[in-house]
Chains A and B, each alone.
Chain A
């Protein structure tokens, strides 16, 4: 015991001191807080979020609680129709979600481990290719699957394989397997990125300590590296599950034609055939399913924070030597990434050039890209590059992507700033965190339905927004909010509070601190986040499929229409355009990031 701690503590405890005017002081603090610009910013942001998220959701709920809405609940949950309307689609959705989660985790996690922890050759190539599928629209993979495996079950053109005279069984052409496979091929990319980041953040010392204790490399991998990256694996698996459950494009292209229904295709069908209330009820059920899964699993991982720490001591990672397996492992990895990136895009390009739909033997033509209208060909449709509707849609799509990226990034910056900087106003920061996370639980197609329910008719002095460009921007901002706020939060969070306080000491106000300190320092992260939002919007189908009208054509919706009308070449050509825009945006963002912060890599 040291002399410093043991002399008796003075008896007059702080609790005994009188505390006069407590109420008055706290009231005055509230008034003073309202003078703090950060508090004001927080309240404004919370109000915007309420309009973006809470209002449409409550509109959705309200609509189903009156008149035909109540009947719709009965129809969906307890009627002779229920089996077809709800239970079977729910089962199918859950199967697809589960298969997507398992497949994406195994492929993405395994690939991440291979690239980060072993001496497999061609690491850079594998890593680069593995991060591309997520930038491709999910319907790109579905379309190329269809192009290859479509059979003659529903008539129309068959796929490449059947065209060669080989019969394709139904289970390979339609339903659960193709839907899950295309979703896995899409989402394993996300798992790869998340797990690879977590693995490379694992402190080399941890593993060296394990090895010093006498554990083999394999044992270190299982006992130390795996638990450390477990949170990343679990959250990636959850994301894949939620996306699998709620994805619209894949089941719409590969299931719907043979009446293989999921919740999202059912909900789309209900709304587009005028059974609006049923659609709303299905939206709510879809939201509940997605939310339950995410909540249950958050509890399951509860309290397990990521242990991965970034120490800045790179280059000391332990490597597992594969020995004789090195060649085969590289081959398998390269085959996987090629099959999910280069191959589907090649298939799409080839098939968009095929004279006869899905046939490589019927000759090639550029007609579907650049052809003039010819009544004897494709019902007189022009090539996509000459089609004013497509050009218009491309412009609208890019404009929408940019508008949503700007709106969501600004909102995300405001949320990130308030949440990380505002102290002493918990209700505001809690509201912001919750509201910005909420859209994550809402599948795109259900959010689209909610926007129709709420903004489809005039509210007070505001006109009905349905069919306008504005509703697309607003819905897009709400849809991408979880991503934007996450990037805003990490962007602001990595700026030390001291840097801003130093500016405050110099007399700089909120706007000046934002403009001269926060934004320049956050620009790299913000830019990366806004590109993510842009790409997500450009390739999205589920959110916009219900909101788009002929007045606001979008590429993804056009693709879907062409595909369901049997114009595979047009659909594939437009998909290639979308993929090109997404990839170009990603490349451009990398360039810009380098230029935005010259002081970082000198």
Chain B
């Protein structure tokens, strides 16, 4: 059940056994693509998650995560590939299958909330049930139930324009879970909330996720949200999955320099190293030895906590800023032309424009080839 397969971009590591339909699969995407004219917004992604998972689609803007979510919802049709939900084929470009959005058993929480402004809160929640032909008694009971689950009972007779942003968010969630969908889709639902409310709502969403038992798919560009909420993370870039795994996998074993520099607070440092006579050089300083090809280049990853401030250290960090973080201090600056963060126990009291000396550990935390893909750690000695 633990997702350990790391999907290389364009590869099919997790797509190998797609032909056997496992009942333990809630969502399966195979070769899913969406092109607009000549641009591929989503470019052949494969993944699957078991029921009850909390899948986070993570990545920078324009990576295709929202398009993927909209294809899951049925608001967008794939131009290639297939989507299975709970073992049922709901979309297939080749097979001409396109189950309409309302018939997929999925609910979507919009980034903008998309509450119907001309309906009161209660009507916003009840109308979808009416479309689904629930009896009046059941509708009323269910609306009461979800409103009390989200603590919005007393807003029932208000219009969306009369309640706060946080309350609108709750109404949107209540409306989405009322028809008891088996899949909950979230499109950056927290991006319109202030920082404090965001943290609170994060916990609230997890509570809802557990209470409903639904499988959730959650789109965000905020890696902190991904790390705190997900059971499965798919980090996307340029329409492909850069790495798919548990939050722990992504932090502990980043599959590429992109993953390494996207995940973590602060993200890991990645420095370019040249191979000369079997030695690895960063800014002409030897940092290790390698079996790699002479004259080549490697990327070496060092976590902020692996670097040390050391007056005798061989590298100079031009300090940009210092910030406290969970009882430690993170000092950031440029080293050999790249941005680097170092975590220390003491406040370094170094401000913009000052210089500190940095020492690297004997071995890097990870090694990547010139194209950015992970190599076996053993290539560096």
Interface residues of A (CB under 8 A from B): 1-4, 6-12, 14, 17, 21, 25, 28-29, 32, 496, 498-499, 501-508, 512, 516-517, 520-521, 597, 599-600, 602
Q: Does B10 contact A (CB under 8 A)?
A: yes
A520 to B120, CA, bound (A): 14
Tell me, in angstroms, the Cα distance from A29 to B98 when the chains sit together. 12
Q: Which residues of A contact B159 (CB under 8 A)?
A: 599, 602
- Taking the nearest CB of chain A, how far is it from the CB of B103, in angstroms? 7
Is B128 engaged at the interface, CB distance under 8 Å to the other chain?
yes
* Residue B100, interface by CB 8 Å: yes
A-facing residues in B43-96 (Cβ within 8 Å): 43-44, 73-75, 77, 79-80, 93-94, 96
| A11→B372 CA distance, assembly (Å) | 10
Q: Mark B88-123 against chain A: 1 for CB-CB distance below 8 A, else 0.
A: 000001101010111100111011111111100000
Contact of B114 among A3, A498, A507 (CB under 8 A): A498
**Are B114 and A506 neighbours in the complex by a CB distance under 8 Å?**
no
Q: Please judge, given known A-B contacts A3-B269, A8-B371, A8-B372, whether A502 and B77 are in contact too, CB under 8 Å.
A: no
Can you sample 27 A-B contacts with CB below 8 Å?
A: A3-B261, A7-B258, A7-B299, A8-B371, A10-B256, A10-B371, A12-B9, A32-B77, A32-B96, A498-B110, A498-B111, A501-B73, A501-B75, A501-B110, A502-B108, A504-B74, A505-B73, A505-B108, A505-B128, A506-B127, A507-B100, A507-B103, A512-B131, A520-B118, A521-B116, A599-B117, A599-B118
Cβ contact within 8 Å between A499 and B114: yes
B131 and A505 contacting across the interface, CB-CB below 8 Å: no
Across-interface contacts of B131 in A (CB, < 8 A): 506-508, 512
Chain A residues closer than 8 Å to B299, beta-carbon distance: 7
Task: Give CA–CA (A361, B100) in the complex, Å.
Answer: 77
* Interface residue B377 (Cβ < 8 Å from any Cβ of A): no
Q: How distant is the Cα of A498 from the Cα of B161 in the complex, in angstroms?
A: 16
Q: Are B270 and A504 in contact (CB under 8 A)?
A: no
Shortest CB–CB separation between residue A544 and chain B, in angstroms? Answer: 38
B118 and A521 contacting across the interface, CB-CB below 8 Å: yes
A597 and B119 CA atoms in complex are apart in Å by 11
Closest to B113 in A: A498
Interchain CA distance A161-B109 in the complex, whole Å: 72
For the complex with contacts A8-B372, A501-B75, A508-B102, 9 further pairs of A-B residues with Cβ separation under 8 Å are A4-B262, A7-B257, A25-B93, A502-B110, A503-B116, A507-B101, A517-B116, A521-B116, A599-B161
List residues of chain B with CB within 8 A of the CB of A600: 161
Tell whether, in the assembled complex, residue A499 and residue B79 are in contact, meaning their CB atoms are under 8 Å apart. no
Q: Of A4, A7, A508, which is in contact with the most chain B CB atoms at under 10 Å from its CB? A: A7
B102:A506 contact, CB within 8 angstroms = yes
Q: A498 to chain B: which residues have CB within 8 Å?
A: 110-114
- Knowing A1-B338, A3-B269, the reply to whether A505 touches B107 (Cβ < 8 A) is yes
Q: Tell me the complex Cα distance, A485–B90, Å.
A: 37
Given A3-B339, A17-B44, are A504 and B101 also a contact pair (CB < 8 Å)?
Answer: yes
Chain A residues, CB < 8 A from B372? 7-10
Whether B9 and A10, one on each chain, are in contact in the complex, defined by CB atoms closer than 8 angstroms, is yes
Determine the distance from Cα of A11 to Cα of B370 in the docked complex, in whole angstroms: 10
Q: Nearest 3 pairs between A and B by C-beta?
A: A507-B102, A506-B128, A498-B114
Instruction: Provide the residues of chain A in CB contact with B262, threshold 8 Å.
Output: 4
Q: Taking the complex as formed, is B348 at the interface, i.e. its CB lies under 8 A from any CB of chain A? A: no
Kindly provide the distance from the CB of B219 to the nearest chain A CB, expressed in whole angstroms. Answer: 14
Contact B116–A7 (Cβ < 8 Å) = no
In the complex, which of the residues B80, B127, B239, B269 has the most CB atoms of chain A within 10 Å of its own CB atom? B127
Asked if B114 contacts A502 (CB within 8 A), the reply is yes
Q: Cβ of A506 and Cβ of B179 under 8 Å apart? A: yes
A11 touches B371 (CB 8 A): yes
| Given A8-B371, A496-B112, A602-B159, A506:B261 Cβ within 8 A | no
Cβ contact within 8 Å between B110 and A8 = no
A6→B103 contact, CB < 8 A: no
Is B257 touching A1 in the complex (CB atoms < 8 A)? no
Would you give the shortest CB distance from B108 to chain A, in whole angstroms? 5
Q: Please, which residues of chain A bring their CB within 8 A of the CB of B238?
A: 14
- Does B244 make an interface contact (CB < 8 A)? no
| Residue interface mask B343-377, A partner, CB < 8 A = 1 | 00000000000000000000000001011110000
Pair B127/A516 contact, Cβ less than 8 Å: yes
- Tell me the bound Cα distance from A504 to B96 in angstroms: 20
* A504 to B73 Cα, complex, angstroms: 10
* Pair B116/A502 contact, Cβ less than 8 Å: yes
Cβ-based interface call for B151 (8 A): no
Given contacts A28-B96, A502-B114, contact A8 B79 (CB under 8 A): no
A498, B111: Cα distance in complex, Å? 9
Indicate whether A505 sits within 8 Å of B118 (C-beta atoms), given known contacts A10-B372, A11-B371, A32-B96.
no
Inter-subunit contact B338/A25 (CB<8 Å) = no
- Across the interface, name the chain B residue whose C-beta is closest to A33: B77
Chain B contacts for A6, CB-based, 8 A? 338
Residues 155-210 of B at the A interface (beta carbon under 8 Å):
159, 161-162, 175-176, 179
Are A521 and B112 in touch, CB under 8 angstroms? no
Across the interface, do B118 and A597 meet the contact criterion of CB distance under 8 Å?
yes
B44 to chain A, nearest CB (A): 7
Q: Is B252 an interface residue (CB 8 A)?
A: no
Q: Is the CB of A507 within 8 A of B132?
A: yes
Please give, as numbers and ranges, the residues of chain A lying within 8 Å of B296 by CB-CB distance.
none
CA gap between A100 and B361 in the complex, in Å: 82
Nearest CB on A from B30, distance (A): 15
CA distance A600 to B175 in the complex (A): 22
- B371 lies within 8 A of A4 (CB): no
B152 within 8 A of A: no
Judge whether B79 and A4 touch: CB under 8 Å: no
Which residue from A2, A9, A32, A597 sits with its C-beta under 8 Å from B339? A2
A-contact 0/1 string along B126-147, CB 8 Å cutoff: 0110011000000000000000
Q: Which residue of chain A lies nearest to B104 when distances are taken between CB atoms in the complex? A: A505
Q: Which of A3, A498, A508, A521 has the most CB of B within 10 A?
A: A3
Cβ of B282 under 8 Å from chain A: no
Residues on B with beta carbons closer than 8 Å to the beta carbon of A521: 116-118
Say whether B337 faces chain A, with CB atoms less than 8 Å apart. Answer: yes
Render B234-250 as a binary contact track against A, CB cut-off 8 A, 1 for contact: 00001100000000000
Closest beta carbon of chain B to A592's beta carbon, Å: 16
B309, CB-defined interface residue at 8 Å: no
B281 adjacent to chain A (CB < 8 Å): no
* B107, closest chain A residue (CB): A505
B40 at the interface (CB under 8 A from A): yes
| A32 engages B98 (CB within 8 Å) | yes
- A21 contacts which chain B residues (CB < 8 A)? 94
B44 to chain A: which residues have CB within 8 Å?
17
- In the bound complex, what is the Cα–Cα distance between A499 and B113 (angstroms)? 8
In chain B, what residue has the closest Cβ to A423? B36
Task: Tell me, in angstroms, the Cα distance from A21 to B113 when the chains sit together.
Answer: 39
In Å, the complex CA distance between A71 and B270 comes to 83
Say whether B108 contacts A501, CB under 8 Å. Answer: yes
Bound form: Cα–Cα A499–B75 in Å: 13
Residues of chain A within 8 A (CB-CB) of B239 are 14
Write the chain A residue with the least CB distance to B117: A599
- B93 CB contacts on chain A under 8 angstroms: 25
Tell me the smallest distance from the CB of A599 to a CB of chain B, in Å: 5
Q: Is the CB of A505 within 8 A of B79?
A: no
Whose C-beta in chain B lies nearest to the C-beta of A16?
B10
Check A12–B179 contact: CB distance below 8 A: no
CA distance A126 to B35 in the complex (A): 55
Question: Cβ of A504 and Cβ of B338 under 8 Å apart?
Answer: no
**How many angstroms from the CA of A505 to the CA of B176 in the assembled complex?**
9
Residues from chain B with Cβ under 8 Å of A1 in the complex: 337-338
Closest to B102 in A: A507
Q: Which residues of B have CB within 8 Å of A499?
A: 114-117
Question: CB within 8 A of A8: which of B9, B80, B179, B370?
Answer: B370
Compute how far the CA of A23 lies from the CA of B239 in the bound complex, rounded to whole angstroms.
Answer: 23
Q: B161 — nearest CB in chain A belongs to which residue?
A: A599
Q: Is the CB of A7 within 8 A of B100?
A: no
| Contact between B102 and A505, CB atoms less than 8 A apart | yes
- Nearest CB on A from B263, distance (A): 11
